[in-house]
Each structure stands twice: as C-alpha cells, then as structure tokens.
A and B are shown apart, each in its own frame.
Chain A
C-alpha cells in the first residue's frame, strides 16, 4: 500500500513526538515531514507529492490561517487547544477541512486516522469533480444543464462558442431559447432538430437529453448534449442530390438506350421482313409479267396456242397463290410474335393432329415416321396454333436433311408430363447457334426471317409447355423436345 505523505506543522516538540509515537504504535502508513514554521511549511508545500497538511494553529512565525491563505488544493487539518474553540471556527471559515482538539494526552489523536481518511476521500472526490467539470467544459460538443423548470444552470465553452452567447446571458434563462421552434423543446428528448444562435441563424443539430436522477428516482436536472450536424446534413444533401442526379441520368440513359434498342429492333425487323417479302414479291411481279406477255401473244384462233397460254397462266396463278400464302405466313408470324397469345384450348388427339400434317410436309427423299401410340394422352391445345408449331418443326427437320434421311416423331410420358420429340438425321445445329435459336430474327437460312422458332416457343409456352432443341449425342442431326402438362387422362 502506498504511504500517505503528511506534512506536520507543529512548533511544540512534545506534540511532535506524541504524533510520531502514535503513528508508530498503530503502524499507520504515513510518511511524516515535520516543520515548526509557516515559512518551512510553505517550502515543503511547494514541492509536489503532499497528500495532507496537519497543522497546529499557532506556529513559530504565524498561524494556521497563514497556511490556509495559500489556497492549497490539499486538505488542511488544524489542531487546536481545547480552550481555543474560536480559533477552530476561524480555521474552518478559512477553508480548513477539519480540526482536532488537543487534550494534552495521546487519546485526542484517536480520531486522526479517520479524519485523514475522510480528508483524502474528499480530496479525491474534488479531483474527480474537477476533472469531470474540466472535461465537460472543454469537450468539443455543446452541453448544457437545466433544472426541473427548464432553466439553464450550466453551459460549456463549446456551447458559448457555437451559439455566440456569454455565460451570464444564459444562466437562469429558459432553455427553449435554443430552439428554432420553442414548442419542440418540451417534447424532444433525443433526435434531430434546428437550433438558433444568438444572431438568429439556425442550424441542424442532434440533441441527446439525459435526466439526472436523485436516489428516489426523481429528476433533479437534465443534461443536454448538442451536436452540430451542419456538415453531416450538408454532405447528406449533397449525396442525395448527387444520387438523384445519378438516378435521373441513369433513367435518361436507359430510356435513350431503350429507344435506340427499340428503333434497332424495328429497323432490324423491317429489314429482315422486307428482305423476306421481296423475294415472293419478285416472284409475283415476274409471274404477272409472264402472264401479260403470254396473253399478248395469244392467238385465239389457234387451239394449240390457247392450250399453251392457258397452261402457262394456270402455272403462273398457282405460283402467285403459293407465294401469297408464304407472304401471309411471314406477316402472321410477325403478328403472333407481337400480340398477346391467347390460345383457345380444347381437347386434342395429338396423334391425329400430326398425322394430318404429314401429307402437307412431304419431301420425297426424306422418310417421316410417327411413333405415337393410341394411349398417348389427349392434350389441351389450340389446334390452329399447335398445328403451326408442328408444321414449322417438321419442315425445319426435313429442310435440315440435304440428301436422304429420316425424321421421326415420338410421343411418350415422362414424370407425369406428355413429351413429344421430333428428331432428324440432318446436319445438326452449329454450337454457337444453339443459344440463339429462339431469338426473334435469328436464322441460319439464307431465305428466312427467323421468326418461326420464336413463334413456336411463344405458342408452346402459352400452352404451359416447354421446348428445347439439342444436337443428338454421338449421332448426326438435331432433336426437338416438347413437354406439356397432362390435364386429364383419356
């Protein structure tokens, strides 16, 4: 345990000895320095490290009052004779911590340890208080205290600087003078608000109020810490403005991009559709020209000329009809792609549906087989739409075969779904094209708009089905797999 440094100012040798003996007897942890004059006391006091001064009232060259006048921040305990109670009062008035009355025997010193202990505790408390007070005073946030009537009792230095007041202008005033909107004062405990400076300018603050309670739990005062958040607010506002600006910018760019994209799509579609319509148009124009030319040369009196001309006209009209249908298909595909698909679903026998198509999709060198048995479930199809899907897929399969080959159409059940596959022995699909097959306007054909498969996909999905196309593993050709839910068993 650290020893307590005590200065004993006493001119009476007996008294000095008495105290020394007392300390020895009780093994008190005191370091005692002894002087007999105010002068000597002053010298020691000026050196650091003293904890307490024990001082006889009368000294060689003065009194304890002279020492008390030094305004020490260490406690002074005055020792007086019993007959001099007035001197004790004098000493207490001058700032002594306590006094001890001499009895002439050693027993008056019995209370010495307790007195010293109390003095030291007081001294520490004072130190702590002074530290806290200094901290509050010099802390970089505005702080004020109010009493229970909201009157200001304390303000710190930062507050005075921030608000532009002198201390005397605030103490005893109602704290609502800090608020831009004084009504707020009563309801705001903690949070953001606006305060006003003495010059009337307002600024954003964050306030934190803490009630100080007594032992019974009653509020005795309120401590309010005010943080000036002007800079944060400004930064926030800037950030907000910046992010809003960014948002507008992104929106603008997105809109512009979407416009460009839309125009590009329209342009691309127009170009592709234009290209695809121009071929049949050329065929129409050519056949009309041929027909006119033949009619011009027609010799009505010559039966063989009549026969030749009528055969030629028939041929031209057939071609014109066929090309018109083809042009119609392009336009329908385009419309299907653009419009909302609303299939008119009915119970359809898939086997019959596909069987009916096979005659229209014939090519002599390609054999088309269908392996769908009678037990295959009927599906809920829009017949017109699904017919288009199957025609498209079967024609694609046939066209992929340049020479001889086979297309087979299979139907089976898998995991409670109806599955239809169309596979061919054709050239298969280039790996980089596989991903793009269902994109509108993507085509691998030199004559084709690239709408067929994207329309197929839309139709299949409108029937809650799925469609995928893969190359057959380890074999030539591609396989299309269609999957549909089975609505009911037949």
Chain B
C-alpha cells in the first residue's frame, strides 16, 4: 500500500509540529506550511491525499484557502480545523467541499480516526471510479466486437 501524504497548514508552529509527530507515528507522510501562500505552493507541487487547514491564517481566511485549494487540487481531501467555531464558517466550509469541520482542541485519537476514515472513503471512491472505467472500456470493446 502506498504511504498516504498529508499537508498541515497552521501558523502555530507548536500545533504543526505536534500534529506532524502524531500523524507520522501513524505512518503518514507529512509536510507542513505556516502560511496560506506556502500551503498553496506545496499543495500544487506534491500530490497529497489530504490537508488539514487552520481557519485563521496570517495571510488568508481558511475558507478562502479552501476555495483556492478546491480548484487547484480537487482530489485532495480538506479538513478544516478551527479554534473559533462559527456556524457560518462551518456551513461555508462544508458547502465549499470540506471533508470535515473540526474544532480545537480535538482528541488526537479522533482526528487520526477521522483522517483514516476519510482516506478510506477516498480509496473506495477511487476503486469505484476505476471499476466504472474498466466496465466502460469492456462494454465499448464488446460493442466494437458486435459492430464488427
């Protein structure tokens, strides 16, 4: 199985380093960024399965970052993490396509579970997509045969 890659974007260095350590202990490959600008650059450069986004960054609001990343890396799952929960932000995030909306402080165990769950769903979706594609190819081939 391929190692899943996760991107952490938060301007609090202590948060980033402790989440990094936790997720690495669960065999994920982690990269980090402290600003939205760096986050976007890193996200575009490397293929990530998932990103944890802080809602308040020095250079951008989390929802804005979410919108940009949704365009740039549509397949990457995004989980919003916030210390300043508001219904407005939650609704906005989910409408923009966030996979989850989590409030600090989150129990690391739960976060790890949520991440694993979301990645599993992603994998299933990919499998289904792959199945669909192979079904379609098979059908086309059959049709071609019949046409001949």
**Which residues of A are at the interface with B, using a C-beta cutoff of 8 A?**
271, 274-276, 278-287, 289-290, 293, 319, 322-323, 445-447
- Is B21 positioned at the interface, with any CB of A under 8 Å from its CB? yes
Query: In the bound complex, what is the Cα–Cα distance between A293 and B19 (angstroms)?
Result: 13
- Is B109 positioned at the interface, with any CB of A under 8 Å from its CB? yes
Known: A278-B105, A281-B104, A446-B57. A286 touches B84 (CB 8 A): no
B25 touches A284 (CB 8 A): no
**Which residues of B are at the interface with A, using a C-beta cutoff of 8 A?**
11-12, 14-15, 18-19, 21-22, 25, 56-58, 83-84, 103-109
A289 touches B109 (CB 8 A): yes
A341–chain B nearest beta-carbon distance, Å: 29
B108 touches A286 (CB 8 A): yes
Query: In the bound complex, what is the Cα–Cα distance between A293 and B57 (angstroms)?
Result: 30
Query: In the bound complex, what is the Cα–Cα distance between A283 and B10 (angstroms)?
Result: 12
Q: A278-B103, A286-B15, A286-B21 are in contact. List 9 more A-B contacts (CB 8 A).
A: A271-B84, A281-B104, A283-B12, A286-B19, A289-B108, A290-B22, A290-B108, A319-B18, A445-B58
CB < 8 Å neighbour of A285 from B12, B58, B103, B105: B105
B12 touches A286 (CB 8 A): no
In the bound complex, residues from chain A placing their C-beta under 8 Å from that of B22 are 286, 289-290, 293
Determine the residue in chain A with the shortest Cβ distance to B35: A446
B80–chain A nearest beta-carbon distance, Å: 14
In the bound complex, residues from chain B placing their C-beta under 8 Å from that of A289 are 22, 107-109
Could you show 16 A-B contacts with beta carbons less than 8 Å apart? A275-B83, A278-B105, A279-B104, A282-B83, A283-B12, A283-B18, A284-B105, A285-B106, A286-B18, A286-B21, A286-B22, A289-B22, A289-B107, A289-B108, A290-B108, A446-B58
Query: In the bound complex, what is the Cα–Cα distance between A278 and B84 (angstroms)?
Result: 8
A290 touches B83 (CB 8 A): no
Query: In the bound complex, what is the Cα–Cα distance between A275 and B54 (angstroms)?
Result: 12
Known: A274-B84, A276-B83. A287 touches B105 (CB 8 A): no
Query: In the bound complex, what is the Cα–Cα distance between A323 and B13 (angstroms)?
Result: 12
Query: In the bound complex, what is the Cα–Cα distance between A447 and B14 (angstroms)?
Result: 12
B58 touches A282 (CB 8 A): no
CB < 8 Å neighbour of B108 from A271, A274, A279, A285: A285
A290 touches B12 (CB 8 A): no
A166–chain B nearest beta-carbon distance, Å: 83
In the bound complex, residues from chain B placing their C-beta under 8 Å from that of A281 are 104-105
Q: Name the residue in A285, A293, A446 with the highest tally of chain B Cβ atoms < 10 Å from its Cβ.
A: A446
Known: A275-B83, A290-B25. A282 touches B106 (CB 8 A): yes
Going nearest first, the 4 A-B pairs with the smallest beta carbon separation are A286-B18, A278-B83, A289-B108, A275-B84
In the bound complex, residues from chain B placing their C-beta under 8 Å from that of A274 are 83-84
B18–chain A nearest beta-carbon distance, Å: 3
Known: A278-B104, A285-B107, A446-B58. A293 touches B11 (CB 8 A): no
B45–chain A nearest beta-carbon distance, Å: 23
Determine the residue in chain B with the shortest Cβ distance to A323: B14
Known: A275-B83, A446-B11. A282 touches B25 (CB 8 A): no
In the bound complex, residues from chain B placing their C-beta under 8 Å from that of A275 are 56, 83-84
In the bound complex, residues from chain A placing their C-beta under 8 Å from that of B15 are 279, 282-283, 286
B21 touches A290 (CB 8 A): yes
Query: In the bound complex, what is the Cα–Cα distance between A286 and B14 (angstroms)?
Result: 10
Known: A285-B107, A290-B25. A279 touches B18 (CB 8 A): no
Known: A284-B105, A286-B15. A279 touches B83 (CB 8 A): yes
Query: In the bound complex, what is the Cα–Cα distance between A125 and B46 (angstroms)?
Result: 121
B9–chain A nearest beta-carbon distance, Å: 12
In the bound complex, residues from chain A placing their C-beta under 8 Å from that of B12 are 279, 283, 447
In the bound complex, residues from chain A placing their C-beta under 8 Å from that of B21 are 286, 290
A484–chain B nearest beta-carbon distance, Å: 34
In the bound complex, residues from chain A placing their C-beta under 8 Å from that of B106 are 282, 285
In the bound complex, residues from chain B placing their C-beta under 8 Å from that of A286 are 15, 18-19, 21-22, 108
Query: In the bound complex, what is the Cα–Cα distance between A446 and B56 (angstroms)?
Result: 6
A212–chain B nearest beta-carbon distance, Å: 85
B109–chain A nearest beta-carbon distance, Å: 7
In the bound complex, residues from chain A placing their C-beta under 8 Å from that of B56 are 275, 446-447
Query: In the bound complex, what is the Cα–Cα distance between A271 and B84 (angstroms)?
Result: 7
A24–chain B nearest beta-carbon distance, Å: 116
In the bound complex, residues from chain A placing their C-beta under 8 Å from that of B25 are 290, 293
